Amino acid sequence: MAFVALPLMVAAVLLQLQPGTTLAIPFLNYELVVLRVDRLSLAFGIVFTLITFLGGMYSFHLKDTGERVATLLYAGSALGVVFAGDLLTLFAFWEIMALSSTYLILARRTSQSRAAGLRYLFVHLFGGGALLAGILFHVAETGSLAFDRFEGGVAAYLILFAFALNAAVPLLHAWLPDAYPEGTVTGAVFLSAFTTKTAVYTLARGFAGWEILLWAGVAMAIYGVVYAAIENDIRRLLAYHIISQVGYMVAAVGLGSEAAINGATAHAFAHILYKGLLFMGAGAVLYATGRSKLTELGGLARAMPLTFSLYMVGAFSISGVPLFSGFAGKSLVLHAAELDHLALAVLLLNLASVGTFLSTTLKLPYFTWFGPKRSLAVAPVPRGMHVGMALTATVNVAIGVYPALLYNLMPFAVDYQPYTTPHVIQTLQLLLFTGLGFWLLAEKLGGTATISLDADWLYRRPARLAYRVAVEGTSRAFSAVDSASLRTARLLANLSADPVGYLMLAAGANGNGKCGARYSMPQLGLYNPDRYRPPLGVVVLVVLLCLILGAWIFFR
């Protein structure tokens, strides 16, 4: 029940918060603002709480206590990031978010999920290190921990790098399509919601108006749909589309205007809901069949009609079909770009929309629920999964039909009406011709059982060489130094035990390792210093003679 009750309790608290509310506590010579409420943080906080509740309904059948705890910790730390008013508090929740989300990948308990989970963890710990370094530089430069807009400098770029990594900006994105498809059926729903969207929030808070983000976002939008179009695994296809859709948000942050920040926030809000629904549908297919590749699926429409119908609500939403949530959210981003007369950016983002409709709304459902029929055993899907999907679909439709539900939550007043005749006609034309193209080329667009090389090749390919150099090479070097140290210690011990005898033994050795008639050279490890040590009486005599000589010189 905690999966459902806790989000509702948090929602009740959020509804009582008013913009301008803060909570600060002293820490050393600084002030930590652990709670800062404004319209931007409230919008993200509300949708995070909403998807936690909806995902909880979808995951109601889950018996893994560890996964439940990790999920709630993940959601709570995402809220902590959103409401953090200082960089140290943000960093603490940032790291908790990385650790708890890793468990949702490892909890699937397969060899692939373990490997992907560890890679995911290392990448995010590296990003956390960059974030901490940036914070320390920022404090050294400004003397402040306040989390506000950055103006530039080494600290700002380190922090930007950390945020961009979590946003999955190419070429920092490979962790996302690598790890999310390996998460648990229910965990992937939450993974799709929090990490990249908290990154969008932090970018909007700290880097609004940085032009580099505009073109980075446009590149993300195109990059994601290209890889999604050739992907065979349905959850990896959806993961690539996270990159594409987050690209719209990052581009809007780069624009930096009030309309653009509204667009980034609205699109993030809608995306969390419809992407969660898409991962719910793909997860239900994986749960029922144990398969997630298009080349292994097909003909499931009769066996899973309800899952298909609810999935299509998410698919229509992500494609921006009128009367669905994406039409209200994504339109704000394009509207902001049009206001700034960025024709090229608008064109490229519209092309990304074509790719989105092609892969998530046409390709994936066609080859999963229709296409070639295969002999698949289909297990019944828990009722809670369908309930969670139905509730999420209802919210997506409600936002699409009545966009004011979304626009009233935006950081700034929204002066935009998506349902104009030209806009609706333009959208429908784009979707219609994309659908026609798919119908003509459907057989060539199906999944193929291949591996698509991505940016992770840059660190996977040299991984074995790096392991040999950094691990095996270092181990051999340490072993060599250790052996040399032991040999040196042994030699010094033998030499100090009987310097004369040992030097005579060493000097008497010939090239064959043998001594003259008087000495024989044993192996160093078997050397016995007592063999050549003078008798005790001789040593006493020498000591007495030295004392007598010293006394004579002193008293002379």
Chain segment 328-354, per-residue pLDDT in tens: 999 999 999 999 999 999 999 999 999
Q: What is the mean pLDDT of residues 112-124?
A: 94
pLDDT of residue 436: 85
Residue 60 has pLDDT above 60, yes or no: yes
Q: Specify the long-range contacts of residues 344-349, CB closer than 8 Å, at least 24 apart.
A: 345/214, 345/215, 345/218, 345/251, 348/218, 348/221, 348/222, 349/218, 349/221, 349/248, 349/251
Q: What is the mean pLDDT of residues 41-45?
A: 97
Q: What is the mean pLDDT of residues 381-385?
A: 95
| Residue 35: its H or E element | strand 30-36
Reported confidence tier of residue 459, pLDDT bands at 50, 70, 90: low
Three-state secondary structure call for residue 51: helix
Residue 509 has pLDDT above 60, yes or no: no
Q: What is the mean pLDDT of residues 156-182?
A: 95
Q: Where are the domains of the chain?
A: 2-449+456-460, 498-555
Q: What is the mean pLDDT of residues 490-505?
A: 70
What's the rounded Cα separation, in Å, for the pair 279 and 51? 12
86-113 confidence digits (pLDDT tens):
999 999 999 999 999 999 999 999 999 9
pLDDT of residue 502: 66
What's the rounded Cα separation, in Å, for the pair 198 and 25? 23
pTM: 0.84
Q: What residue type is assigned to position 302 of the chain?
A: R
pLDDT of residue 332: 94
Q: What is the mean pLDDT of residues 19-38?
A: 93
191-246 confidence digits (pLDDT tens):
999 999 999 999 999 999 999 999 999 999 999 999 998 899 999 999 999 999 99
Query: What is the share, in percent, of the chain residues with pLDDT greater than 90?
Result: 70
For residues 424 and 442, the model is more confident at: 424
Q: What is the mean pLDDT of residues 510-519?
A: 44
Cβ atoms within 10 Å of 94's Cβ, excluding its own: 27
Residue 506 has pLDDT above 70, yes or no: no
Reported confidence tier of residue 522, pLDDT bands at 50, 70, 90: very low
With beta carbons less than 8 A apart as the criterion, state whether 220 and 245 touch: no
Q: What is the mean pLDDT of the chain?
A: 89
Q: What is the mean pLDDT of residues 500-507?
A: 66
pLDDT of residue 515: 46
